[in-house]
Amino acid sequence: MADDPLLRTVNVKKHFGGVVALDGVSIDVEPAKVTMLIGPNGSGKSTLINVIGGALKPDGGQVIYGGDDITGLPPHKRYALGIVRTFQVPKPFRSLSVLENMLTASRIRLDDSAAKILFSSKWEFEEKRLIEKAFEILKLLNIDHLWDARSDQLSGGQMKLLEMGRALMSDPKLLLLDEPVAGVNPTLAHDIMSHIVKLRDEMGLTFLIVEHRLDITLRYVDKVYAMHQGRIISSGSPSDVMSDPHVIEAYLGD
Ligand SMILES: Nc1ncnc2c1ncn2[C@@H]1O[C@H](COP(=O)(O)OP(=O)(O)O)[C@@H](O)[C@H]1O
Ligand SMILES: [Mg+2]
């Protein structure tokens, strides 16, 4: 039998005025797998990610994480449970170096007040430990040589890797990635997807990804959900979903 899902949405509904963005969406996200949400523009993908991350409250249905109902939890409590999202447009602190950006993203900054960290005798030890951890992650993402570069000097793809590195500093369990390879050249896009697979295999991380560049990403993915007009219209292996007439029709009709 398969593992219990790490995350489930059960019949999630969300409307904006008269627009039905999510019309009863149920998905299972299996642990240590890469699950991808696809669908034409306006099909409800970002809304679903926002409901899972806690930025939006659904009008109905549940979000279940590790067996617990987290539908009512605010985003920072979900973050503390290991649900971390990245954004389509990365938002590093541009005047800080890559390493400094990694350090500001570590969970300790959020759990303790900055003053408490700065004036505690623990600080030096913690700082050292965090720097080591940051370097390990930068190495895993092959950007450790850029540790001292200012973040605004990075290419778009490198910035996406830094965004992922920042997410990893917080010891996430479930990463919600909104278009991780949008606007990135094909070589680097494959590189980013390979890193995602490596993080899945080596650290057991779970990914839920929204992405439009199916030509590049599908081969790296374990399971696909296709959305259209706020509903799941198909799910399964990438090849099953891409050959499903409902999916082809949904893309052609838009
Ligand atoms: N904040 C909002 N206010 C009003 N309508 C919204 C809002 N966010 C999304 N929508 C609408 O909900 C539907 C789903 O949008 P979205 O989840 O962004 O789709 P996708 O990410 O698949 O392109 C669309 O019709 C969109 O216009
Ligand atoms: Mg979107």
pLDDT in tens, 116-144: 555 566 666 777 888 899 999 999 888 99
Give ranges for CATH 3.40.50.300 in the chain: 7-82+172-252
Q: Which residues lie closer than 8 Å to 5 by C-beta, 6 or more apart?
A: 28, 29, 30, 31, 64
Residue-level pLDDT at 1: 47
Residue nearest to atom 2 of ligand 1 (CA): 16
CB distance 45 to ligand 1 below 6 Å: yes
Query: Is-contact 136 171, C-beta < 8 A?
Result: no
Residue nearest to atom 4 of ligand 1 (CA): 16
What is the CATH architecture of 7-82+172-252? 3-Layer(aba) Sandwich (3.40)
E strands, the chain, are 7-16, 19-29, 34-38, 60-65, 68-69, 83-86, 174-178, 206-210, 223-228, 231-236
| Two structure tokens written together for 22 | 């999510």
Q: Mapping DSSP to helix (H, G, I), strand (E, B) and coil, where does residue 223 land?
A: strand
Return the axis-axis angle of helices 186-203 and 122-140, rounded to nearest 10°.
Answer: 120
Q: What is the pLDDT of residues 71-104, one digit of tens each?
A: 999 998 999 999 998 865 566 677 889 998 898 8
CB distance 50 to ligand 1 below 6 Å: no
| Two structure tokens written together for 200 | 């899945």
DSSP 8-state code for residue 150 = B
